[in-house]
Structure 1
Amino acid sequence: MLRWYVNYISNPISGASRSHTHILTIFHHRYQATLAKRPLLTQSIGSALLFGTGDILAQQAVDQVGLENHNYARTGRMALYGGAIFGPAATTWYKFLQRNVVMSTPGRTLVARVGADQLIFAPTHMFAFLSSMSILEGNDPLEKLRSSYWTGYKANLMIWPWVQAVNFRFVPLEHRVLVVNTVSLGWNCLLSLINSGK
């Protein structure tokens, strides 16, 4: 016991780091096991959590509305869209790309996958997102699309081709939605601001 205490006092960070590393390792193993058993459900839940978190960041860090003025219904709509629409759609889409978009070289395959993602999935996702949010808010989806679609899609083209090139090239299929969801914390914050007309 005395040896442990002396070691801890002389290097307190290592004891804390080992504890945090152990917790992260356990979380990683459980996530991997759940992802292997139920990939669609796991990725949909992750999408719901991160879409909701993106909206919280938009309201609290960007707009700085404070908790008393936080629009919880808006956060709920974002989480619902992430879990019910984006998570299942992205999971299915990435599997489709992996199986069906294979060219003669890895470089051509990468270009074709990023091109398909940005020319098919991204505009469809933007349409679905803005329409869904508008309907859930009780507003006219056509008006929302007219006012926000091109702004959102142009912002998408500034960020996502680069993210997806790295994602498709280096990340295993089963982790691609997680990578997108992680990058999406900032992106969903931006989407939420675009949707709210800021």
Structure 2
Amino acid sequence: MALRWYQAKSASRPILTAAISSAVLFGTGDAMAQHLVEKRGLKNHDLGRTTRMVLYGGAVFGPAATKWFGFLQNKVKIPGRPNLEIVARVAADQCLFASTNLFVFLSSMALMEGTDPSKKLESTYWNALQKNWMVWPAVQFTNFKFVPLESRVLVVNVVSLGWNCYLSFLNSQPGGEAQYPPDV
């Protein structure tokens, strides 16, 4: 029932629906980082940090991902080769969107925190991008192969609960030297 409602809203108002769901799930990912990973407790919850994550998810990620997935669906086509087409979409997603989104995320978080974006990028970008490539290609292959276009941002947002937890934790570390999750 809820999924049908979401799909209907996503079909009629895709940007707004993605913005709202992304905002909620980015905030949830941050709350998970603060309470499940960092064990801060409710009285030590950093509301400003959660607000920054909600703002980024709703104002940047949700709308950008919606447009990006539509672009991939409409422009990355290899007739008669559906799996190769999906691999091409995943490659484009990881080389263009993921790397750019991570750059924008870390830079905008630094700006909203009043810190130096170049230092944040230097200390965290490569580590986070490597972790991204350990998780997202398989997720996106599955997403592009089995999930209808209007639900792809939702799938990414649900998987992103864990990913956003990681990003929030990484972003909150002084110098970005956190090794969570540990290197494998």
- What is the TM-score of this pair, normalised by structure 2? 0.92
Task: Quote the residue 1:85 is aligned against.
Answer: 60
| AA aligned opposite 2:51 | G
Task: Give the whole-Å Cα distance in 2 for the aligned partners of 1:138 and 1:72.
Answer: 16
Superposed displacement of residue 194, structure 1:
1.1
Question: Structure 1 CA distance, aligned partners of 2:24 and 2:48?
Answer: 14
Instruction: Tell me if 1:171 matches 2:172.
Output: no
Q: Which residue identity does 1:95 align to in structure 2?
A: G
Q: Is the aligned partner of 1:61 residue 2:54?
A: no
2:88 maps to a residue whose letter is A
Q: For residues 76-155 of structure 1, what are the structure 2 equivalents within 5 Å?
A: 76-104=51-79, 105-155=81-131
Alignment match, 1:39: 14
Q: Which amino acid aligns with 2:164?
A: N
Higher relative helix content = 1
Task: Give the number of the structure with larger relative contact order, counting CA–CA contacts within 8 Å between residues 6 or more apart.
Answer: 2
> Which aligned segments of 4 or more residues in structure 1 are displaced greater than 4 angstroms?
none
Q: CA deviation at 1:73?
A: 0.3
Per-residue CA deviations over 1:43-90 (Å, capped at 9, x if unaligned) read 110000000000000000010000111100000000100000000100
* Structure 1 runs not aligned, ≥5 long: 1-24
- How much has 1:37 moved relative to structure 2? 1.8
Q: CA deviation at 1:34?
A: 1.8
Residue 172 of structure 2 aligns with which residue? 196
Q: Secondary structure at the match of 2:97?
A: helix
Query: How many residues in Structure 1 have an aligned counterpart in Structure 2?
Result: 173
State the alpha-carbon separation in 2 of the partners of residues 30 and 108 from structure 1.
Answer: 32
The structure that has the greater radius of gyration is 1
* Structure 2: stretches of 5+ with no match in the other structure: 179-184
Partner amino acid, structure 2, of 1:130: L
User: How far does the alpha carbon of each residue in 1:117-154 deviate from its partner, in whole angstroms, 9 at most, with x for none?
Assistant: 00000100000000000000000000000000001100
CA 1:46–1:29: 2 relative to 1, 3 Å: same
Partner of 1:15: none
Structure 2 counterpart of 1:66, one-letter code: G
Task: Give the C-alpha shift of residue 35 in structure 1.
Answer: 1.7
